[in-house]
């Protein structure tokens, strides 16, 4: 099973949508809720591959996937299940 991590804000609709997709696939993930935590956001940005400060930011097996649109695009292309296997 893949190691999935997601950085979120509690009330972010894109975060909720991305987590819903993972939940629908019965994926266990580690969630980092970073509401108002500048140090945590900086750590997320440093870890990512594109310098984005927006949430969610998703990592699968330490590979930066991107945000909500990116994970849904991978799912539509049939690539997400392979990454999660």
Q: pTM of this prediction?
A: 0.95
Please tell me the predicted confidence (pLDDT) of residue 16: 98
* Strand 4-8, strand 29-33: pairing: parallel
Helix (H) or strand (E) holding 45: helix 38-47
12-68 pLDDT, tens digit each: 999 999 999 999 999 999 999 999 999 999 999 999 999 999 999 999 999 999 999
Q: Which domains does the chain have, with CATH numbers?
A: 4-84 (3.40.30.10)
pLDDT exceeds cutoff 90 at 1: no
């Amino acid at each position: 099973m893949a190691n999935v991590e997601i950085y979120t804000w509690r009330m972010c609709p894109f975060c909720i949508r991305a987590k819903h997709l993972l939940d629908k696939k019965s994926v266990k993930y580690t969630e980092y809720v970073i509401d108002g935590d500048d140090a945590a956001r900086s750590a997320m940005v440093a870890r990512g591959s594109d310098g984005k400060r927006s949430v969610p930011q998703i990592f699968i097996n330490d590979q930066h996937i991107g945000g909500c649109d990116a994970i849904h695009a991978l799912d539509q292309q049939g690539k997400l299940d392979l990454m999660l296997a």
